[in-house]
Chain A
Amino acid sequence: MRIGVYFCLCGPNIAEKIDSEAVRQAVERLPGFGYYRTVEFLCSAVGTSAMEKDVRENRPDRVVVAACSVRDHEETFRGVLARAGMNPFLMQMVNVREHIAWVTADREKATEKAIRHLGAAMRRVALHEPLERREIDVCTDVLVVGAGPAGLKAALNFAEAGRKVCLVEKEPVLGGLPARYEAMFPDMECGPCVLETVLGDVLHGPHAERIEILTLSSVADVVGYYGNYTVTIRQSPRYISPDLCIACGECIPVCPAVSGNPFNYGINGRKAVDYAFQGGLPNLPFIDPESCLRTTGNEDCRLCREACPVEGAVVYEDSGKQVTRQVGAILVATGAGLYDCSRLPNLGYGRLPDVFTSLEFERILAANGPTGGAIRKTDGSPPKRIAILHCVGSLDPRHKEYCSGVCCETAFKFNRLVAHKLPGAEVTHFYKTFSVPGKRGYKLFGEAGARASTRFVRYDDIDRLEIRSDGSRGHHVVLTSPGGGSSVTESDMVVLCPALVPSEGTARMAQMLEAATDRFGFMEELHGRMDSVRSKVRGIYMAGTCQAPMDTQKAVEQALAASGAILAGLVPGRKLVIEPVTALVDAERCSACRSCIPVCPYKAISFDSEKDSAVVNSVLCVGCGTCVSTCPSGAIKGNHFTDEQVFAEIEGVLS
C-alpha cells in the first residue's frame, strides 16, 4: 500500500496555521505512507494539472488530500484522479482549512490536530474500495395520472418534446374541475375556454399522436423503479365506440333510466346513456352501467342501440380493457376535492335544502349545468339573499389548519356572477380572514366590496355560525358572539367554501406508489421549496392540488416544472448514472428480519422472498446509511462509509 499525500497550503489560509513540514515528518512514519507533496493552491488549474501528472507518474494505491472542505472540492480531486487513470473513490479528503486552520488560533495545536486527522484519513483510505458508477438504460416515456389542467399541460409538454405519454383519466371527460366552471378567477374567462388551448392540442394538435388518452381508466398496478416502470392500466367500458359514434345524441332521449348526475353533484338527473355535460371532451356519451336498465333488471332494453344511426356504435358487449405500458417516470396530477361539510352539522349541509358547496354552486352557475346557468332554489325560484361562507373547515385545528388560498377568490367570483345573473340580490360574505394574494387577486375582492348589495361579516369560530331553516321563507345564518348575543342574517341560499383536501385518487396513487403523504394527505415533496414537484420516491413526480391546495395557474406551473425535471432526467440515448455510494445487502448474512425496510423513506429496500433477503435498489438508494446502522445482523454495507472505514477513522483521529 502506497498512499500519496497532497497537502494544500491554500496560500496563507492553511500555511499560516499549520506547519506542513511538521505534518510531513509525522505522517511519513505511518503505515502505508508513499510520498508527500506540499502544493500552494491544489484546486487551481496549475495545481490540478500538476497533481494529475504526479498521480499518473507515481501511481499511488491511495490518495489523501489535505485541503479545504469536502463540500468544496471533493468532486474536483475525484475528477483529477479519474483523469489520471485512478479510481476516484480511492481518495480521502481532510478538511484542514475550515475545520482546523480557520478555527484554531494556536499554530501548534492546529498542526497537532492536522496530523491526527491526516493519520485517520490514511488509515481510512487504505480500506477504500474502487467503486464504479453504473449506467443503466432507461425508458423516456411518461405516465401522467389525471387529466386536469396540470396533467393536460404536462402531457402536451412531453409530446412537444418528442416523448410518448400515456394520459390516464378516471372520468369519461378531460379537463378536471375547471371544465365544469362557468368562469375562472381572476379574469372571469370560462373554464372550458381556458382549457381549450391545451385540450385542443392534446386531442388534435401536431403532437397529439404521441399522447395516448385513456379515459374512464385507473392505474391498477405499478412495478419497477425510476427509468423502468411497468404500469398496468384498467379501462372501464364506455359502451360507446369512440371510433364510430358521431355524437348526434339520438341515444339519449330514448333512454328510460334516470339517475343523479354525478357531474352536477346530483343536483339534476342524467340518462343512463348521456354526456357528462355539454361540451365535455372527448365529445362522446357514455353508458353508466349502474343505472342502465340492462344491468338493473331489463336485460332486453335496446332502445339506445335502436335509436343510434350508426351500426355498431353502441357496444353492450364492451368489457373495457387492461393495458400495460413501459414508462420511465410517473407524474401524479390527481387533484383535490373539498372538505366534507357534513362534518360541520351546524351548517346544515346535506340536511337543509339550498345549502351548497362551492363546487355545487359552480355547476349551478354554469351554462352547461343542471339549471342552464340560472341561479335557482330547489323550488325553482330565484334567491333574493345569498350567504357565502368562507373558511369552512379551514384555519381550524379541529378540521384543517391550513388556508387553501383559493376559496376567497372563488367566493368573490361567485359574488360577481350573482350580481350579473340576479341584479339586486344581496350577498353576505361570512369570513374568518381574507386571502387574495398576487397581482390580480384584489380585482374581484375590490369589486365585491364596492357593490352596494354586498355585506361582509367576520366570524372567529365556525361553531358560532348556525344555518337555521325558516320553512318556506328560507334560512337564517345566526352568528353568536362570544359574549352570547347573536346576529341573524336572512338568506335563502347558502354557499359553503370548504378547504381543499386531497382527492381519493391522490390517496390511492400515493399508496400504490408508496410515495409519502403529509399529515393532511397531500403528496409530500422531496423538498418544500427547492423540489416541490418531486416526491420522495425517485421517478415519482407531482403537479397541482395533489401536492397542496393551489389555483389553476400554480397547478399548471407545477406541471411545467415537473415535466422540465422529468425531461432533464430522462433523455433519449442517455443512460442513467447510478452513484455507487449506496447500501448493499449481503444475502448470506441477512436474517430476514425486515427491520431495514421501514427506515428507508425512499422505498429503496424490498424483500426478495426467493433469496430470503432484503434487497437494496441502487437506483432509488440515496446512500444515507440509516439501514446500515439499523441492521442487527451487520448484513448491510454502506459503500464508502463502511463500519471498518469509520472505525479506522475514529481510531486515527483519537490516536
Chain B
Amino acid sequence: MGFLCNWCSYAGADKAGTAQLQVPPNLSAIRVMCTGRVDPQFVLKAFREGADGVVILGCHLGDCHYKEQNYRALQRHRILLAMLRQLGIEEERCRLDFVSAAEGEGFARLVTGMVEAIKPLGPLDLAADRHGSDQLT
C-alpha cells in the first residue's frame, strides 16, 4: 500500500509510467495532496485491511509543495514506527521516503526494493500475532 503526495511522488510514479518502467503490481497507491495528510490511522487501517507493507512517499525535504509538511510526516512516521514495534509489526513494513516528480526511475527502484525487503518477512498475519499475545496474557 502506498500513500503518494500529489505534487512530487504521484508525479514521480507518473514519470515511471511514461518511461514504461516496471513497477511491482503489488503496490496499490492512493493519492493524497500531501504526506502531511497521512494520518497514522491510514497506515494502521492499511495493515488491518491486509497490506504487508506501507510506503509513504513525499517530496524531498525542503521541496514540499506545502513548505514543511513532509517534515511533519517524518515526525509522525518516527512515532508511528514505535507504535508498530509495540504491535509486533516490523519496521521494514512501514517506510517513509521521498520521490521527486522527476524521479520515475527512483520510484520504480524504491517500490521494487521495498517489495524485496518485505518478502523475507512473509505476509503480515495480524490475527496470528493477536492470538500470540492473547496467549501471553
Contact = CB atoms under 8 A, between A and B. Distances in A.
Interface of A: 69-71, 95, 97-106, 109-110, 112-113, 116-117, 120, 516, 536, 581, 599, 601, 622-626, 628-630, 638, 641, 643, 646-647, 649-651, 653-655
6 contacts: A98-B14, A536-B67, A601-B69, A624-B66, A646-B32, A654-B51
Most buried by B among A106, A116, A651: A651
Contacts of B13: 98-99
Interface string B46-57: 100111000000
A103 B16 contact: yes
Contacts of A98: 13-14, 16-18
Contacts of B20: 102-103
Interface of B: 1, 6, 10-11, 13-14, 16-18, 20-23, 25, 28-34, 36-42, 45-46, 49-51, 65-69, 72, 76, 108
B23 A625 contact: no
B45 A641 contact: no
B29 A650 contact: no
A99 B34 contact: no
A516 B67 CA distance: 10
A624 B18 contact: no
Contact of A99 (B29, B46, B49): B29
Contacts of A624: 33-34, 36-37, 65-66, 69
Nearest to A630: B72
A626 B22 contact: no
A103 B22 contact: yes
Nearest to A638: B37
A646 B29 CA distance: 11
B22 A601 contact: no
Contacts of A105: 22
Contacts of A601: 66-69
Nearest to B20: A102
A103 B23 contact: yes
Contact of A629 (B38, B49, B67, B68): B38
Contacts, number: 121
Contacts of B76: 629
Given A98-B14, A113-B25, A536-B67, A641 B42 contact: no
B110 to A, nearest CB: 13
Contacts of B40: 629
Contacts of B22: 103-105
B17 A116 contact: no
Contacts of A638: 37
Nearest to A583: B37
Nearest to B42: A646
Contacts of B25: 100, 104, 106, 109-110, 112-113
Given A71-B11, A654-B49, A641 B17 contact: no
Interchain residue pairs A-B with the least CB separation, the first 7? A98-B17, A625-B37, A626-B36, A653-B28, A629-B39, A103-B23, A624-B66
Contact of B42 (A109, A623, A650): A650
Nearest to A101: B17
B69 A626 contact: yes
Given A98-B14, A641-B32, A626 B45 contact: no
Most chain B beta-carbon neighbours within 10 Å: one of A69, A103, A638: A103
Contacts of B29: 99, 653
B28 A641 contact: no
Contacts of A104: 22-23, 25
B1 A650 contact: yes
A629 B37 contact: yes
B46 A625 contact: no
Contact of B14 (A99, A116, A625, A654): A99
Contacts of A69: 10, 14, 17
Nearest to B11: A71
A628 B39 contact: yes
B28 A117 contact: yes
A653 B29 CA distance: 8
B37 A650 contact: no
Interface-central residue, A71, A100, A104, A646, by most chain B CB under 10 Å: A646
A134 to B, nearest CB: 19
B41 A643 contact: yes
A185 B41 CA distance: 59
Given A98-B18, A641-B33, A626 B1 contact: no
A648 to B, nearest CB: 10
Contacts of B32: 625, 641, 646
A113 to B, nearest CB: 5
A475 B2 CA distance: 68
Contacts of B66: 601, 622, 624, 626
